[in-house]
Amino acid sequence: MYQERIVLTEKDILEKEFKIDTRGYRPQEVDKFLDTIIRDYGEFGRIIRECEQDKKEIIEENIKLKQEIRTLRTKLDVLKDSTGNETSSADVLRRLSNLEKIIYGKE
């Protein structure tokens, strides 16, 4: 998913060989390679922040859904009459529909 955003692999970095001229490595070649590494590290940082934000949103949504399930279970228990018999399926569906309208707004 994020592979198109990352230029170098670990193997690319490990196996990188710079050409040597009379004074050593060519500074421009080394600088260009280091610039690519720096860009990748920046991209990794952005990816990590995006994933953390997505994770936070998913956790918050999960908590809300669990609370909604608890609320609906409680309301379903209330629908049972005092003798312990459950109300008819049609009655439950009607009341559930009304609850959905309350929760999600009237549509």
Write the single-letter amino acid at 42. G
Residue 77 scores a pLDDT above 70: yes
Domain count of the fold of the chain? 1
DSSP the chain: --GGG----HHHHHH----EETTEE-HHHHHHHHHHHHHHHHHHHHHHHHHHHHHHHHHHHHHHHHHHHHHHHHHHHHHS-TTSPPPPHHHHHHHHHHHHHHHH---
- The pLDDT tens digits for 31-64 are 898 888 888 888 888 898 899 999 999 999 999 9
* Mean predicted confidence (pLDDT) in 5-12: 78
The residue segments making up the domain with residue 19 are 3-104
Residue with tokens 């609370």: 67
pTM score? 0.52
